[in-house]
Amino acid sequence: MTSYERALRLLTDHPHVRTWPELAAACERARAHRPIAWDFPLRAAQAVGGQAEAAIPAVAANTCTHMALILIDDLLDEDPRGAQHRLGAGRAANLAAGLLALGTQVLLESNCSERLRAARALNDMILRTGYGQDLDVQNLQTEDAYWQVTRAKSSPYFGTALCLGALFGERLDAAERLQEFGELFGEIMQIHDDLNDCLAVPANVDWIQGRSPLPILFAQTVAHPERERFMKLRSQVEDAVILEEVQTILVRCGAISYSVNELILRQKKAEKMLAAMRLADPQPLAQLLEEAIAPVQHLFAKVGAEFPVAK
């Protein structure tokens, strides 16, 4: 049985899950849909010199929390793929509440000596992400607001996943620094997600709902020659020809370059943070950074440019 299957077993065997069919169904569905960063607690436990397997309750808690956040996100975004279309909005909201509580419960019922601290860390993440979600639904369209929302909404999940791994690896002193490293990694993930969304064909729902992933925000904010044209067309992207034109403007005005630069800046900062932590085995976390920057390196190669070397 893999670590992930063992984490799911913790959930499906839980008494509350056994009495709530939809909660059980959600945990079963998680078998086929592993959440992003599901293995971060294992990586962190290994990195601090602990046993990766010790962090299985943290993987279970992380999985519950991720499922809940997706349910909430889909409700807020009116995502056509969301579970609310199958369950109804009320039951989807109830399921999200159940999953959030289940994650904390699993941590509290673990035999980790730092289970209270772990539960507090998870709860803190839920609170911070809730605030981030609330900022996000206000669709604030400024540069400062973008970074504020990213740090509130996207970063805590990744940071806490690593923090939990350190706690279950019994390296309390590393927990805070791994939280910071994970939060920076969360910003990298958000920029990747934004690049992915705004370059999607057909148009991603962000265009249609008037939301502003980082490249779109850049094209709207910066005084470039095609800004007016971009603003006029951005709501008409259901037409494939117009989508191609606005995506071309994103490239030409420097919005993609800007986003890529923000990825590189964070990558370099994260590499320095990782080196400064002096972990027993930094490789599981170094590998995350390598995989995250690979698309950017490939992009540089594609345009015939050298990838900037860290200074």
Partner 1 sequence: MVAMQTFYTDLSFAAENMGSAFSGLWRIARASLKEILAVRSELAWDAWAESK
Of 181 and 258, the one with the shorter C-beta distance to partner 1 is: 258
Of 276 and 301, the one with the shorter C-beta distance to partner 1 is: 301
Q: Is 21 helix (H, G, I), strand (E, B) or coil?
A: helix
Of 36 and 127, the one with the shorter C-beta distance to partner 1 is: 36
The 8-class DSSP code of residue 204 comes to -
Distance (Å, rounded) from C-alpha 165 to C-alpha 128?
A: 19
- The rounded radius of gyration (Å) of the Cα atoms in the chain is 20
Residues that bind partner 1 (CB under 8 A): 33, 36, 70, 81, 143, 147, 189, 192-193, 195-197, 199, 201, 217-218, 221-224, 244, 247-248, 251-254, 256-258, 260-262, 265, 292, 294-295, 298-300, 302-308
CB of 22 to partner 1, least distance (A): 18
- Copy the structure tokens of residue 159: 């940071």
**Strands (DSSP E) found in the chain:** none
Of 44 and 256, the one with the shorter C-beta distance to partner 1 is: 256
Of 115 and 252, the one with the shorter C-beta distance to partner 1 is: 252
CB of 19 to partner 1, least distance (A): 27
CB of 305 to partner 1, least distance (A): 3
Residue type, 74: D
Burial of 110 (0-12, 13-18, 19+ CB in 10 A): buried
CB of 261 to partner 1, least distance (A): 6
Residue 49: Cβ within 10 Å count:
13
CB of 215 to partner 1, least distance (A): 10
Distance (Å, rounded) from C-alpha 199 to C-alpha 115?
A: 42
Residue 222: Cβ within 10 Å count:
13
